[in-house]
Amino acid sequence: MAEKARIAVLISGAGTNMAALVYASRIGACPYEVVLVASNDPAAPGLALAAAEGIATFACPHKGMSREAHDAAMEAAVLAAGADHIVLAGYMRILSDGFVERWAGRMLNIHPSLLPLYKGLDTHARALAAGDAFAGTSVHLVTPELDAGEVLAQVRVPIVAGDTPESLAERVKLAEHQLYPRAVAEYVGRWRDPAALLARLRTLALALPETDERESHGSPGFRVGGEKGGKFFAYFADQHHGTPHIALLVRTGSMDELMNLVESQREIYFKPAYHGASGWVGIILNRPGVDWDEVAEWLERSWRSAAPKRLTRLMDIADTF
Ligand code: GAR
């Protein structure tokens, strides 16, 4: 069983979304654990629940502190808890750009509207005033611009006759409690999900000229050169031959290059069974922090070494500009 992601949950109030995240983490093979619940309000009811659940807690009132100093105190607690992701759950503070940038791609928020609609506050009153038929909630990555990061998941919730901002908020929270744990689990687990890794690889491989996908010995493979004379330049290997790796196999220039890569960067490269004998290298994809630009470069290089001259000639000419 791979290691779990360690999440710190930041709250300002009731903490019902935090509770949903905690209880989901205790059911089945959840890919994350909650290692800290922190708040800018020492009286936030969620803190007492987290403590009763045996989770480390931290509170730091923001009054009298600059935004940067308060963020730094929260961040220090998050780091001390060994968290690798921050999950905002009703944390009603705008965060400083530096803090957000340091956690780019590792900080999520839930916002009670169908983003990009109704960023900011009073979302329910605004949805009602607009006469909308649906409200909802969105899980998104946090970026310096408020409520504007990539939306990872959304769910719609109907507005019913007689709704008030309070009744609507309560119904939206029911949906949030289902959505947030799933979206967080999917996001933190994405680097070990074969379907997600293959989808990403496919997008990169098929963006290269004259490529197609064809199965080879039960694995997805990518070819260049057309239906008839096509040659494989990449394979996707999902834990083949007893390895724990989900990997991309691509051509290197030589056996020496392959062995050098494997010896100097064992956490990234390996010599695959069968294809390794002809100089193909395995690039491990099920590890956190994969550099996808580097993966794209490997694909292009392997594509070039398999592509017919009429295709590479154009590329070579383009390179001289
Ligand atoms: C949730 O509805 C969440 O979407 C919202 O605050 C509520 C917190 O409830 N967040 C925002 O409005 C962020 N701008 P909870 O404390 O019971 O989880």
Using alpha carbons, select from 283, 319, 279 the residue that is nearest to residue 200: 283
Tens digits of pLDDT across the chain (321 residues)? 457 999 999 999 999 999 999 999 999 889 999 999 999 999 999 999 999 999 999 999 999 999 999 999 999 999 999 999 999 999 999 999 999 999 999 999 999 999 999 999 999 999 999 999 999 999 999 999 999 999 999 999 999 999 999 999 999 999 999 999 999 999 998 888 899 999 999 999 999 999 999 999 899 999 999 888 899 999 999 998 888 999 999 999 999 999 999 999 999 999 999 999 999 999 999 987 789 999 999 999 999 999 999 999 877 887 777
How many helices (H) and strands (E) the chain has is answered by: 10, 13
Q: For 137, what's the count of Cα atoms within 13 Å in the CB-facing half-sphere? A: 23
Mutate to test the pocket of ligand 1, among 11, 17, 87 (most ligand atoms within 8 A of CB): 17
Q: Which residue shows structure tokens 């550099």?
A: 291
Spot the catalytic one: 111, 124, 140, 240.
111
Burial, 303: exposed, middle or buried (Cβ in 10 Å; 0-12, 13-18, 19+)?
buried
Please report the pLDDT score of residue 2 as a whole number.
57
CATH superfamily for 5-192 is Formyl transferase, N-terminal domain (3.40.50.170)
CATH 3.90.1150.30 correct for 194-319: yes
Q: CA torsion, points 237, 240, 243, 247, in degrees to nearest 10?
A: 0
Ligand 1 centroid from CA 14, angstroms = 9
Q: Tokens 């900080």 appear where?
A: 107
- pLDDT for 1: 44
In this structure, the residues whose C-beta lies within 6 A of any atom of ligand 1 are 11, 13-17, 89-90, 110-112, 137, 173, 176
- What residue's CA is closest to ligand 1, atom 10? 90
Angle between helical axes of 45-52 and 16-25 (0-180°, round to 10): 20
CA distances from 22 to 182, 185, 206 (A): 12, 12, 40
Q: Tell me the domain boundaries of the chain.
A: 5-192, 194-319
Cα gap 3→85, rounded to integer Å? 14
Q: Which atom of ligand 1 is nearest to the CA of 14?
A: 16
pTM of the complete model: 0.79
Contact status, residue 8 vs residue 74, Cβ threshold 8 Å = no
Pocket test for ligand 1, best of 111, 142, 168, 184 (most atoms within 8 A of CB): 111
111 is catalytic: yes
Ramachandran quadrant class, 192 (left: phi over 0; alpha: psi -120 to 50; beta: rest): alpha
* Tokens 């093979």 found at: 29
